[in-house]
Structure 1
Amino acid sequence: MTDWIGKTFTSDFGWDHLESLVDIGDRMAGSPGEREAMELTRDALEAAGARNAHIDTFEIQGWERGDSRVVTDGTTQDCIALPRSPSDASSGEFVDLGYGLPEDFEADLSGKVVMVSSTVPDHYERFIHRREKYYHAVEAGAEAFVFANHVEGCLPPTGSVGTEESPVGDIPAVGVSKEVGTRLARRFEGEAVTVEVDCETPPAESGNVHAELGPDTEDELLVTSHLDAHDIAEGAWDNGSGTAMVVELARILAEREDELETRVRFIAFGAEEVGLVGSGHESDRLGDEREHIKAVVNNDGVVFGRTLKFDTHGFDALEAAAESVGDQFDHPVSIVPELVPHSDHWPFTQWGVPGYMISCETAGRGRGWGHTFADTLDKLEVRNLREQAILLAQLVVDLADDEMEIQHKDEAEIIEALEEEDHAAGMKITGDWPY
């Protein structure tokens, strides 16, 4: 009964797939590299023993990086464009808004180039997403947006702007390192600054990779990740690790298929980094059939830390199942019941579908090396992938049990929780409020 554990402790299947993904180089949504990642993942799921491995394609707004710069009095500061920034140049008085909390944008910012940090204070009750800060700046009349990393190491951060209705943003947006941000604030506060972004925005194609195991039941579990990554790095942690986990889980569960009492569908989504486009496409495709999703087990940012973190979105049964797996293996797990309205569980969970956001415990708030040049394979350990795969494989088997009941939530319950946890206002300003 435990042979699968020993095999997993010696398996290189998921890790080999991770190496294949990072060796592609650029997996930006809509790029040839993302297409290669889809094909490699489809083939890996088939090799793992999953059935009906295929790619479902869809059209997206493409974005291709050119040059960008922050031009000050006689100097040019290093920066990188934020994906889906418009190709434009804007000038204005430079203003450092610090953390970029909602109240920091209450002033009239017309004619200003604003800079905000990539983090929030430790005492602040929630993390504020980059896009929320961007659209606060847009609403306040800013001419351009500068996103400064809070992590040392000369690492400018990336991350998309834009909305579902207007995929290309309103004002030019760039990321700068902590060091450049500190220099800008010290030397150029109140001075004239120009932000220039060159890019192309052609139509493009992305896709989701599907496969399945288990009986042909009406209900199903979704085991998911996203396979795209930002073009500036290997995307090892975000989210090569999650997709490697999905194919490793497929390998394990193919050997344990007779224990599955509910169909398990594996999906590696495309175009997550530009607005959850792939998972949104699948959620829309299912429509009312979402009621047959027993749970979404979404892997986004695993492996980097040793302790798995389960955001459970207030679903008590999901919390109990994660705790049970930790108890079964005498292994620590971290459980957070609050909502996370980001990543590929959300297009389902926003409609009341039970969903996990599974990542790992890390030091501090924010992405760390994620969304920077430093998101590379050397930061990850095969040990963590193997240990976490054991826990997550057992979790899926437990969730697939016929006796495991997981109640969906009403839309009103999700709305109430979003308002209580102070997500609603930010989601409305970013165009992510679907209700």
Structure 2
Amino acid sequence: MAIPLLFDFSTYNIHLLLIGLVILLAATIPNLLKNKHITEPIIYIAIGTLIYLFGDHYDSIAALNNVKVIEEITEFVVIVALTNAGLKIKNPFSWKTWKYSFWLLLIAMPITMVASAYVSHWILDFTPAAAILFGALIAPTDPVLASDLQTSKPSQQDSSRTRLALTSEAGINDGLAFPFTYFAIFFITKGSNYSQWIANWFWVDFVYKIAMGIIVGLLLGWLLYKMVFKFTSKNQQSKISRGILSLALTLLPYAIAEILGGYGFIAVFLAASAFSHVEKDAKHMDNLHDFTEEIERIFVALLFVVIGIYMASNFSKLSDPKLLLTALILILFIRPIAGWVSLLGKKDISTFEKFTLSFYGIRGVGSIYYLMYALGAATFPESEKLIQLTAVTIILSVFIHGISAITIQKKLDQYDNVD
């Protein structure tokens, strides 16, 4: 009589086990690491490395074979993070909210974009199109990884003007990077004679799409508030699922803006900000915020475990001195200097606050999305090198900014007023 095999160690079951464990870690690690000199993405990258070292099916992670999948996953993570950031903005129509981030967006972001493009061309011999793409995708501050230094949750007063500025900057600059990603795509698909297509790029991909994202975002945020809280009774409101409402506030503005040809990233952030502006019930807002934060944590955990596997499986390529040098120049020099220049003459904030706003241009999930989007839309000869450089920059940013974040947070507590 044959004895049945009771144990099933199939790849599918092992993957389910790993995903479940990572999700469990996403729920527990943030509390365990509270006030520690290390952040969650560092732990997830380490877990990914261990999975690679002890796994049998992770000889190589080929990002170029999974461009569309990575694009869609990172797209969802970014829009959830943008909703979360928008819900924290209490006064989106006040100059106090934008008095520092405005200058970071207007001055620091373009400088970072141009300087990063030049450095990648100079050190890595990127063609103009690839250099422009790298400058565009790496310039925006990431709303996902910047959460450790973002402003307080909706029910609390803004804890500091520095955190408020980092939140508002991270919320809007992902959308503003899209026109320049299109510029790189047009450059390689339509030719370097930009006089033939630059007018169309400016009016459609810069002016129209930004404007449509703004209109859809503000309108949808207001309409969703009216539908939920003005056209329903108090008794009915208590039965509305905050999770469902959070997802609606995330997906509807994004989808409608994209359908109408606008930038969904801008629409999502502004919809959440507009909703936060009109909804003053602290409990409602905290519930919305907490749900989006939980979803964000789960996907960040899964994504950075995969990044850890990719790093370990491609370590020899990612340790190329030219890649490391380019990434370090961006993180330690280009963004800090660009940020400092943008804040020159601002005498109402301290030197330390200027340093924080300048230095903490964290790179992350948004950069991965833009890269995958561009690689899916056009063929860049340096595709593999672009992936490697972006990965190195993100990993170094996670470690450099993550390890120093708790020290910065404690110091910022001394500047705990938003004036």
TM-score band w.r.t. shorter chain: under 0.3
Question: Could you tell me the TM-score, scaled by structure 1's length?
Answer: 0.24
Which structure features the higher share of strand residues? 1
More relative contact order, 1 or 2 (CA 8 Å, 6+ apart): 2
Question: Could you tell me the TM-score, scaled by structure 2's length?
Answer: 0.25
Which structure features the higher share of helix residues? 2
